[in-house]
Amino acid sequence: MTVSSVNLSQVWENVREAVKDDLSAPHKTWLDHTVPLLANDDGFVVGVPNKWTLDWLEERLSPQLNAALKQATGSDMAIRLVVNQAAAQDYEAAASGTAPAPREEELLQTALLQDEFEPKYTFDSFVVGESNAFARNAALAVAEQPGLKYNPLFLWGGPGLGKTHLLQAIGAYVARHFPHRKVTYVSSEQFTNDFVGSLRAKTTDSFRKKYRSVDVLLIDDVQFMERKDGVQEQFFNTFNELHNHRKAIVLASDRPPKDINMEERYRSRFAWGLQADIQPPNYVTRLAILQQFVESQQVVFDDDALTYIAERATPNIREMEGAIIRITAYCELLKKSSVDRLCAEQVTCDLFPDCSHRPISIAMIQREVCRYYNISPSEIIGSKRSHSIVFPRQIAMYLSRELTDLSLPKIGSEFGGRDHTTVMHAQDKIKKLMGSDREVFNQVQQLTNIIKQKG
Ligand code: ADP
Ligand code: MG
């Protein structure tokens, strides 16, 4: 049986009642302000008011909730919890005694809006240094006066230096400060897929409408549009239309416009506004970024440990973040509350190999993960939901996120066309498991080692 939006509420109500019956009185309220949002291939998504509730439910009630869902629907669909604004409002309203219940479409809308920008990518969380100040200031100026300042803004720089972070920060800022303006973030691959899909389905009109009705268009990784002529043309029609109407356009790429392989008449548009490059951070900025990363962790990092990472890591900030996550998980396993240089060295020796290596691809990660867990390539991208397949699949998604520079939507699409939220969920899940299960931590370390050596 599939769960349509019509019976979404009913199904959730049944699940909730079934599980509540088994809870002791003080715990019955944990399920009170939860709202079913959607059900699709990836599971039954339920909004909860805060992270605290999410953790509690996941830790204590996950098996019961899934069993009750199975009972209610007869399917193996898994429940996925997300922190969601609608649930939070419901919770607050109940706490203050006013309770306007939002309608289902509104709930869905907030769920989708919420998903669009990653909450951790904001201007506040972006550490400013010499290498990125110019780009960051330009991005903030656009966010404050979309369409009026620097149109288009073209951000460029190497992988892991913060381009996506800045695009998302602009999006989140505009969504928050100008709620009536429509802001869309899209990778150029997603844009391409959308366009090709609309050609196939003969819905190019709605494609046009969708992209030309936005007020702020953020396009990531435009270099992927190279050599895709039909798409380039579509893109520039969109570009011209938006630009003529003084709508804001921000582009990001791994190289400057002059090095992008496109027809000159297209490429020259990029240079109409402002180009801002992001350079690799120097040692001081790397240290400042590391300090910010560790601030929110439970364990305390020695200065020596941080300087070790700042010295060894490549300029890729994503790699530095990966190192901190590994070390934190390791400490949680060993119940250590602080990290010294030796500990940092032990845990990250695989992450920072001395030899240079070829870039790692998702295909390669999938191949090695399949071999390691003895499953087939079609299973890792397929739709089976048994634990023996889901777990390796999530490990492979986690490693793709950590070891490649590819975006969430791109990773999702390489795993049988899954949604980017599925990848986010896998990443969180494995991160947590690494901190609680020694076996999982070791498997991730071993796989990293294998993959890095092949690279
Ligand atoms: P890019 O899109 O340029 O490849 P990302 O924007 O994905 O890089 O950045 C990689 C990771 O590093 C992200 O988790 C991002 O939040 C983080 N990051 C990059 N620059 C900064 C910065 N200046 N301050 C804090 N975090 C940063
Ligand atoms: Mg990026």
C-alpha torsion 100→101→105→110, nearest 10 = 70
Q: If you measure from the C-alpha of residue 55 to the centroid of ligand 2, how many angstroms do you get, rounded to a whole number?
A: 29
Ligand 1 atom 26: residue of nearest CA:
126
Helices 420-436 and 438-454: crossing angle in degrees, nearest 10, is 120
pLDDT at 202 over 90: no
Q: If you measure from the C-alpha of residue 78 to the centroid of ligand 2, how many angstroms do you get, rounded to a whole number?
A: 30
> Could you tell which of 136, 155, 161 is best to mutate to test the pocket of ligand 1, judged by most ligand atoms within 8 Å of the CB?
161
Instruction: Give the number of whichever ligand sits closest to the CA of residue 131.
Output: 1
Q: If you measure from the C-alpha of residue 174 to the centroid of ligand 1, how many angstroms do you get, rounded to a whole number?
A: 19
Average pLDDT score over residue span 115-144 = 92
What atom of ligand 1 comes closest to residue 126's alpha carbon?
Answer: 24
What atom of ligand 1 comes closest to residue 157's alpha carbon?
Answer: 3
The pLDDT, as a whole number, for residue 108 is 45
Average pLDDT, the chain: 86
Q: If you measure from the C-alpha of residue 118 to the centroid of ligand 1, how many angstroms do you get, rounded to a whole number?
A: 12
The continuous run of DSSP H or E covering 249 comes out as strand 248-253
Alpha helices in 127-252 (DSSP H): 133-144, 163-177, 188-200, 204-212, 229-244
Pocket residues: Cβ below 6 A from ligand 1: 121, 125-127, 132, 157, 159-165, 289, 317-318, 321, 405
Residue 275 phi/psi, 5-degree rounding, is -105, 135
Q: What is the DSSP letter of 25?
A: G
Give the pLDDT confidence of 49-102 residue by residue, as tens digits.
877 788 788 888 888 898 998 888 888 888 888 877 777 776 666 655 554 444
Q: If you measure from the C-alpha of residue 256 to the centroid of ligand 1, how many angstroms do you get, rounded to a whole number?
A: 18
Q: If you measure from the C-alpha of residue 161 to the centroid of ligand 1, how many angstroms do you get, rounded to a whole number?
A: 5
Helix (H, G, I), strand (E, B) or coil at 248: strand
Query: How far is residue 9 from each of residues 16, 93, 95, 217, measured CA to CA in Å?
Result: 10, 20, 22, 34
Ligand 1 atom 19: residue of nearest CA:
162
pLDDT at 110 over 50: no
Give me the percent of the chain exceeding a pLDDT of 90.
44
295, amino acid identity: E
